[in-house]
Amino acid sequence: MAERKPEQIDFMGELRRYGNSDPFVPFEIETTSGDRYEVQERLQFALGATAAVLVLPRTGIQVIRMNQISALRVHEPI
């Protein structure tokens, strides 16, 4: 019986695509610890070589390493 390998998701590519979408559509980043971060505006988000940097309204700057991301969710426009 063949061993099942875990699905490999290209979070870097997906974040690049979401961050550059035109028009911008808000999205959410979920981390392996269960924390969730809303990205409501394009200027709130920057992508580095190994991490995403978020500017959050109430808490300041949050750096999230790629290996800490467990899910991305796009908020469909209404």
Kindly state the percentage of the chain with pLDDT values over 90.
Answer: 56
**What domains can you pick out in the chain, each with its CATH number?**
11-74 (2.30.30.100)
User: Mean per-residue pLDDT for 43-66?
Assistant: 92
Give the dihedral of Cα atoms 74, 68, 65, 73; nearest 10 deg. Answer: 0
User: Does 11 score more than 90 pLDDT?
Assistant: no
pLDDT of residue 78: 52
pLDDT of residue 37: 94
- Beta 51-56 vs 60-65: how paired, if at all? antiparallel
Do residues 30 and 69 lie in contact, with contact meaning Cβ atoms separated by under 8 Å?
A: yes
For the whole model, what pTM was predicted? 0.81
pLDDT of residue 71: 92
